[in-house]
């Protein structure tokens, strides 16, 4: 699963649309996303606004700075609990499955995903992504940087357990 995510992100030429509820990428995935942006790829992440595990949300948000600085668009879903795990690349490659973008899913758990190299499938997933994004709030880089010291403290405390999430 890890290599699938890494290769897909690294092969993108135009767009990456990723929906994931537990988004705690490691350095390799983060680097691939940043490099995609440096190549001019539009990267849009749809993440949960509310989540059932606050430590995961804290660890996820701790990593937003590097992504926002690279120009990644991050949205937080507001209409309920987000549990979808999908990704489309360049409108032709699509993935839907059970794997979160975290170490537990990518290195420890048994996960399954369907990958399709098909414009119709990718187009349908992109339509769903856009509908979900219409029920989301963008993460503003300026507001993220101005977050409270309390939030920063909790993010700092999440670092030692990052690999366990």
Domain ranges of the chain: 2-164
Which tokens is 37 given? 């942006």
CATH fold for domain 2-164: Endonuclease; Chain A (3.30.870)
Q: Say what the pTM is.
A: 0.87
- CA 94/CA 3 separation, integer angstroms: 15
Helix (H, G, I), strand (E, B) or coil at 9: helix
Please name the residues in contact with 131: beta carbons below 8 A apart, sequence gap of 6 or more: none
pLDDT digits (tens, 9 = 90+) for 65-101: 899 999 999 999 998 878 899 999 999 999 999 988 7
pLDDT digits (tens, 9 = 90+) for 99-138: 887 766 676 667 888 999 999 999 999 999 999 999 999 9
């Amino acid at each position: 699963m890890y290599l699938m995510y890494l290769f897909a992100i690294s092969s993108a030429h135009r767009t990456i649309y990723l929906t994931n509820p537990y988004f705690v990428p490691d350095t390799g995935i983060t680097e691939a996303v940043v490099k995609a942006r440096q190549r001019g790829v539009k990267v849009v992440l749809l993440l949960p606004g509310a989540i059932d595990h606050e430590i995961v949300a804290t660890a996820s948000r701790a990593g937003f700075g590097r992504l926002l600085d690279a120009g990644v668009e991050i949205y937080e879903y507001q209409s309920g609990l987000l549990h979808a795990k999908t990704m489309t690349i360049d409108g032709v490659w699509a993935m839907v499955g059970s794997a979160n973008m975290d170490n537990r899913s990518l290195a420890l758990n048994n996960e399954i995903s369907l990958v399709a190299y098909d414009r119709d499938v990718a187009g349908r997933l992109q339509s769903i992504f856009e509908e979900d994004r219409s029920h989301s709030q963008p993460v503003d880089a300026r507001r993220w940087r101005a977050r409270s010291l309390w939030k920063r403290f909790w993010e700092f405390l999440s670092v030692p357990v990052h690999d366990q999430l």
